[in-house]
Amino acid sequence: MGGGEPCSVEGCSSEAIRSLSPKRLSGTSLRLKTGSRKAALCKEHYKQFKKETKEQRKIERDRFRTWSK
């Protein structure tokens, strides 16, 4: 990201390292500050996002692998 953009999670002012669609955060415990088009996440919140969506991402990968065979 590099622009020094702050994290979009409520109560966090750390510098963001990743930018995601807010739709991808809908199933997590992360609450965004505003309804913007992009959700900027700091290192800690991106790690939390990955932990919370690990099973869902595994299901998507497996579903694609079985379809492509």
pLDDT value at position 1? 63
Record the tokens describing residue 46, joined without a space: 């991106």
pLDDT < 50 stretches in the chain:
none
Number of folded domains in the chain? 1
Q: Determine, yes or no, domain membership for 40.
A: yes
Residue 55 lies in a domain: yes
Is there a domain that residue 34 lies in?
yes
* CA atoms of 65 and 47, how far apart (whole Å): 25
User: Is-contact 20 39, C-beta < 8 A?
Assistant: yes
pLDDT tens across 35-49, in order?
778 999 999 999 999
The pLDDT, as a whole number, for residue 9 is 93
Is residue 1 within 8 Å of 16, Cβ to Cβ? yes
13: in domain = no
Q: What is the pTM of this model?
A: 0.80
Q: What is the structure's pLDDT at 2? A: 61
Side-chain half-sphere of 65: how many Cα atoms within 13 Å?
6
Residue 13 structure tokens: 């002012």
Which residues form the domain of 64?
18-68
> Is 33 within a domain?
yes
